[in-house]
Amino acid sequence: MPGQRKKAGRGSRSTTCIGRKMKRHSNDSSAIIQENSLQLFHNILKSATLPDGWYFKCTGDSTSEDEIQCFQVARQFVVAAPLIISRILIIKRNLNWMVYVNNHLIAPSNDVLRAFPSTLNTDVLLSLINSLHISNVCSCNHDDSFIALARQKKGTFLSVDGEVVAVLQESFCFVVNGEMKSATIRHISCDILLKKEKVTCPSCTNYRNTLRALVSKSIKSSSSPSISSHANIRFLRSPQRRAHLAILQKAIRNKNCQLKRLRVRLNALLESNGSICVDKELSSDIERVIENHTVIEKDEFKRIFWEQQVAASKAMKNGVRWHPLFIRWCLNIMLTSSKTYEIIRESGFILLPSKRTLQDYTHWIKLQPGFNADVFEHLKKEANVGGLSDWQKYIVLAFDEMKIREDLVFDKSTGEVTGFIDYGEGSLDQRFVVLREHCVKQRFDHRKLATHMLTLMVRGIFFKCDFPLAHFPTQGVSSESLIYIVWRAIRMLALIGLQVISVVADGAPNNRKFFRMHEIRKFQSSGITYKAPNVTKPGSFVYFMADPPHLIKTVRNAWYNSQANGSRSLVNKGKEIKWSHLVELAEKTTSDTGLYIGKKLTREHLKLTSYSRMNVRLAVQVLSSSVANGFKTLRDLNLMAQDTEATEEFCRIFDKFFDLFNTRSVTECIRKRKPDLMPYYRVSDPRLKWLKETFLLYLSEWENSVKTNDAIPKPMKKCCMLPQQTIEGIKICVYSLIEIMQELLSNKDTKFVLSDRFNQDTLEIFSDSKGHEAIVTTTHLFCNSYKMPKPSLYRSPLHLVGAVISQGKESTL
């Protein structure tokens, strides 16, 4: 120690000694004060008896001192424990002073320090040291349960606004019941230094109740792990099932109590306010106005709706004859959401037919696997093929497979057992199945059960029609079977007057093989098979399309795998395209201000799960121009490294690619301020040129740069590019879209074309509505879920906005 330590007495004797030393030095050193005040303070401290545990030292040389530090060393009860300095008094050359307790600066307005002047003199020096010695350090909240909770929260407690309100102090020296402690939770408004009679400050005392509540909540959550409200009870263990049911029962009781209170309150309001009563004359006048209402024209649907409501309000429960157009309007609602239709009907605000009545209009056809002549006749009336011009008869044929549960069901209406593989009566595959059974002499119960359901859907290009055409129970359809099924569908659609111009499927291996089986070299481009001659219309082609939303998902998934421990490492022209760039963008834009640059990126975007990998919305929001603009903005502000240029170009390129395949209306481009979402109006559209000359060139240069880069080992070259299947699917889409637009827009009657019609979004929605839970959906349930309105519903000349059909020369979605 640079200073000397003098032992002092205990209690009042120590105080008396301090007083005598102060008086003696104040009388004998007036001359020295003027010459060197710090030297005088040094002499006083050197000759005075300091309280127990206090020391001092001077900084500077022997003739000139910069400051004096008086400090207290905390007593240690653990053998070989390090010394801890708990209080420090620093006296500057100008005699200004400051106090630190446990490395925290104490404000001069503190209750202990408030009585001392801002500039020290010899009269108060030892008194200040004595006051610091007898004062207490706030013990804050030092309970073991609080400390354990703080360590779980990484040492900080946040308020509702996200601000830090309390912190864990691991080296905060204080005494509790004569025992030295060092760990506590200190409120940010803690006074730290307290008078002798106080133990904790008001801020820490008030925050103690909050800590108790947090500890109680933590104990409850750890003892009873939370179960999602959407969890399927059948897959829970018995203790979890009982706990989950108890929670649900409690929620039901709470809702019933709340409902009861609302009913009592409503009845009280009705009794107090009453209802509006009118005399018979006024009532008859109102009824006459309703019956003779002639403001709405007779040919409008609003008039039909009004008349149906008036008739239903007067008729008996089962005595209403509903108008076909009103039935169709109700079917549109029910087929969109059955639950919504029930809620509207039960409210009584609008009088609607029952679901049983609507069922007579939807289940009039008994659908069987394979192609059904009644379905084609129904499609002909649905699309009003006789009223369409030749250029309006082009359609898209989409197909997809979904997983179903193996099951056998006896159908009492037909006397057949459903659930086996069935490609339709008379199909080539079905004949092979029968032949194999006869040759091997297999029994009936040895036939294979279906595990998948192949569904075909027709999509109109110039009229709004998304029509499920046929379904086939399979065990994973082969590409050879697809050849027969697809081309038979094309021929049968041509017989009712509809021309298939495009076939859309996802990137499954059997679908890619189906495309390649049509390989004719003179119809290929860069070795890619993207079209085949249309046998039903000589001189024309059927173009293949890999579903663009599926492609954008595979591109995003390849980028996600380009990270540490990932299966890919995308490199374009020597520059890396890393997923960590996106994570850094999300962190940079929210860490300081909480504001977002570009698209709001959440954990759902950054940490993919098996479900989010299949979510097109998340993929499109990541591969967007707003994310690309975020990279550019942070680089310009020098907040991000310059190696994100390739990642920015990657996002911008595929954002435009998806927009060109996703034009859905004539107004979306204006609403979203994106010209790429405009419909296609002419053959010489510059966007088609961009696809062929810029986009495909980008993929080609990327591929060449990887192949010619000798620094990349040959086995790793495939991992530095997008998957070959994805590149092949992209090229198929680009070549097909260009030639489809050229063929459709070459007709002078065609005003515009929407590229959104060349995907299988509606087929995905249809499949999800039938089997979002594969464990529940079977072949029998899938067949019974088809709902097709009767042909009698199409006799009305009226057309609904947003109904199944809306046609005309410029009619689109």
Joined tokens for residue 649: 């170009």
Q: If you search the block for the tokens 């082969």, which residue do you land on?
A: 478
Q: Which is more confidently placed, 786 or 248?
A: 248
| pLDDT given at position 502 | 95
Q: Where does the pLDDT of residue 800 fall: very low under 50, low under 70, confident under 90, or very high at 90 and above? A: very low
pLDDT (tens digit, 9 = 90+) per residue, 105-144?
888 888 888 888 888 887 788 888 888 888 888 888 888 8
Q: Which is more confidently placed, 220 or 511?
A: 511
| pLDDT given at position 504 | 95
Q: Which is more confidently placed, 674 or 237?
A: 674
| pLDDT given at position 111 | 86
Distance, first Cα to last Cα, the chain: 88
pLDDT (tens digit, 9 = 90+) per residue, 158-197?
887 778 889 888 877 777 766 777 788 888 889 888 888 8
Question: Are 541 and 533 in contact, with CB atoms under 8 Å apart?
Answer: yes
| HEC-encoded secondary structure of 243-285 | HHHHHHHHHHHHHHHHHHHHHHHHHHHHHHHCCCCCCHHHHHH
Question: Are 138 and 194 in contact, with CB atoms under 8 Å apart?
Answer: yes
Q: Where does the pLDDT of residue 63 fall: very low under 50, low under 70, confident under 90, or very high at 90 and above? A: low
12 SS3 class: helix
Percent of the chain with pLDDT over 90: 23
| pLDDT given at position 393 | 92
Any idea which of 204-208, 249-253, 415-419, 689-693 has the lowest mean pLDDT?
Answer: 415-419
Looking at residues 50-59, what average pLDDT do you find? 83
User: Residue 574 pLDDT > 70, yes or no?
Assistant: yes
The angle subtended at Cα 614 by Cα 611 and Cα 616, nearest 5°, is 125
CA dist 192 and 174 (Å) reads: 10
Question: Are 142 and 184 in contact, with CB atoms under 8 Å apart?
Answer: yes
Residue 598 contacts by C-beta under 8 Å, 6 or more apart in sequence?
Answer: 585, 589, 624, 626, 627, 628, 629, 630, 633
How far does CA 286 lie from the centroid of its chain?
A: 52
Q: Where does the pLDDT of residue 72 fall: very low under 50, low under 70, confident under 90, or very high at 90 and above? A: confident
Question: Are 41 and 25 in contact, with CB atoms under 8 Å apart?
Answer: no
Helix (H) or strand (E) segment spanning residue 66: strand 65-74
- Give the other-Cβ count within 10 Å of 703's Cβ: 17
User: Residue 781 pLDDT > 50, yes or no?
Assistant: yes
pTM: 0.59
Percent of the chain with pLDDT over 70: 78
CA dist 173 and 150 (Å) reads: 18
Helix (H) or strand (E) segment spanning residue 399: strand 394-403
Q: What is the CA radius of gyration of the chain?
A: 41
pLDDT (tens digit, 9 = 90+) per residue, 738-772?
999 999 999 888 999 999 999 998 888 777 655 44
User: Residue 307 pLDDT > 70, yes or no?
Assistant: yes
| Closest to 793 measured CA to CA, from 162, 135, 265, 322 | 322
CA dist 500 and 541 (Å) reads: 9
Sign of CA dihedral 706, 712, 714, 716: negative
User: Residue 490 pLDDT > 60, yes or no?
Assistant: yes
Helix (H) or strand (E) segment spanning residue 767: helix 761-771
